Structure 1
Amino acid sequence: MTLVALAVAAPVVPARAAGLPAKATTIVSLTFDDGDATHTAAARALERRGMRGTFYVNTESVGREGKLTRRALAALARVGHEIGGHTLTHVRLDELTRDEQRTQICDDRRTLVRWGYRPATLAYPFGAVDADAKAVVRECGYDAARTVGGLRHGGCPACPAAETPRPKDRYAVRTPSSVREDTLVRQMKQQVLNTEKSGGGLLPLVFHRVCDDCGLYSVSPKVLNEFLDWLAARETRGTVVRPLRDALNARYRPLPAG
């Protein structure tokens, strides 16, 4: 596996205000799952363009080989990136009992809060969710949750281009399929263009590892950089980048008792 730096050292660009410009109609949320160590460089690439993303971590893997450390996670939050929950150990929630789901979701969120974060959104590992999981996510204090799929992509050309600004189901926010090693820049651009042409809306994009030759669910730094350059220029057309928390106006809710 060859890791390629996404950005040279540069001053951190302050995050844009959470409020949307009056002409903004399309909101793109760049979400990164699994707390991979390559997300530090990915975050810097966003920062260079004045963007902020959402980083979903499994708290039991933080600090392990190939994963973000506590220090790296704190650095992301300090400059305005969203830190969200992804369960303790990256399990398929739809295969667990409700009590097991509660342990995975609530204990993970408690750890994030103990570390000083205010997690408002969660991403379901593998996009796997059922009615019980959605109910538990809400019980554990999250204000919204992101799945994977449901929006237009190669395998679902008839799906809607974007999520509605106020999703019908805040605990199953839809996305296109995950970005993979064979995803082309033009395909990501087209997803944004489809959203713009459909009148706008929310387009959450799902990334995993950011490196060369490192697995199916990865994107090369070159591809990501090219896409970010193009995306940054879309702001004049009413397309902005926001963490999912801000795009949904998700509130931090206190931890449940017990």
Structure 2
Amino acid sequence: MRLFRRVTALSAALAVAAALGPAAHAAGAGAPKKVRTIVSLTFDDGDSTHPAVARMLEKYGMRGTFYVNTDTVGGEEKLTRRGLAAIAKAGHEIGGHTLTHVRLTELARGEQEPQICDDRRKLVSWGYRPVTLAYPFGAVDSDAMAVARRCGYDAARGVGGLREWSCPTCPGAESFRPKNRYDIRTPGSVREDTLLRHMRQQVLNAERTGGLLPLVFHRVCDDCGLYSVTPRRLNDFLGWLKDRRSRGTVVKPLKDAIGARHRPLPPADDPATAQG
């Protein structure tokens, strides 16, 4: 009797599988693998091209991180307040980048503090909740990291430290829980001579081990400087990157990739962060 029941159950299961046929197989084949790699697309300097960049990402169902120097907003070839608001409204992350894009390592700690803290205060006064910072030029020292933390940032992104042509032995990806949250590693900035195959290779390098791959972009336009990428090249890269989802690679803003949390601003009259 027990054997009869087992045979009957097996027959029923085979009948269901036969009825579903190719559709069931296709559904299983199309299911994305478990996430192993997160790519964070970050865009520095609050450039006037960034609203169009945000829309390009949205076309592929992606959201990025846009780092802004608040004292330059509204300036020549820079984001306007309206453009910045549109980017944020669409679900992209807005982060700090200092007031005026200074090289922090050339400043005394007391000069770093207003650049980082007042920039974040202004973003908060505009209605944003910045939780990550990008150091201009990727220039960071122990003072800058300490100030970033004191100013309420939960993490900060540098430039460099991951594998590229100038560092072939560097790791291909950062950890999902970076060892140093205040100097998150990246490959070098994408430049006008960075080819599509180079960007793809950085993703493939990260996929070998899994982990976090923050990519650093600046301007997105044709023939507009060393630290730029053409819209066509970025669009081609995004189309290729979208297809990597089936291999466990997804795109997220940096704050979501590392689980950065909002921390309160220090008091404006705090002697440690007061502008001198």
The TM-score, its normalising length taken from structure 2, stands at 0.85
CA distance in 2, matches of 1:152, 1:221: 24
| 2:149 alignment partner in structure 1 | 138
| 1:244 alignment partner in structure 2 | 254
| 1:230 alignment partner in structure 2 | 240
Which of 66, 82, 87 is the matching residue for 1:71?
82
| 1:30 alignment partner in structure 2 | 41
SS at structure 2 position matched to 1:63 = coil
- Structure 1 residue identity aligned to 2:185: R
Gaps of 5+ in 2: 1-31, 270-276
Q: Is the 8 A contact 2:33 2:247 kept in 1?
A: no
| 2:95 alignment partner in structure 1 | 84
CA distance in 1, matches of 2:33, 2:242: 17
CA distance in 2, matches of 1:235, 1:223: 20
Alignment of 1:208-223 (within 5 A): 208-223=218-233
Q: Is the 8 A contact 2:33 2:246 kept in 1?
A: no
Q: Which runs of 4+ in 1 moved over 4 A?
A: none
More helix per residue:
2
CA distance in 2, matches of 1:153, 1:175: 9
User: Higher Cα Rg: structure 1 or 2?
Assistant: 2
CA distances 1:62-110 after superposition (whole Å, capped 9, x unpaired)? 0111000001100111110000000000000011011100010000000
Q: CA deviation at 1:51?
A: 0.2
| 1:49 alignment partner in structure 2 | 60
| 1:18 alignment partner in structure 2 | none
- Structure 2 residue identity aligned to 1:232: K
Q: CA deviation at 1:241?
A: 0.1
Q: What is the identity percentage for the equivalent residue pairs of Structure 1 and Structure 2?
A: 73
CA distance in 2, matches of 1:150, 1:57: 23
CA distance in 2, matches of 1:196, 1:22: 13
Alignment of 1:1-258 (within 5 A): 23-198=34-209, 200-257=210-267, 258=269
Cα RMSD after superposing both structures:
0.8
The TM-score, its normalising length taken from structure 1, stands at 0.91
CA distance in 1, matches of 2:76, 2:206: 38
SS at structure 2 position matched to 1:163 = coil
Q: CA deviation at 1:22?
A: 7.2
CA distances 1:175-218 after superposition (whole Å, capped 9, x unpaired)? 000000000001100110111112x0000000000001000000
Aligned residues: 237
- Structure 2 residue identity aligned to 1:217: Y
Q: CA deviation at 1:130?
A: 0.3
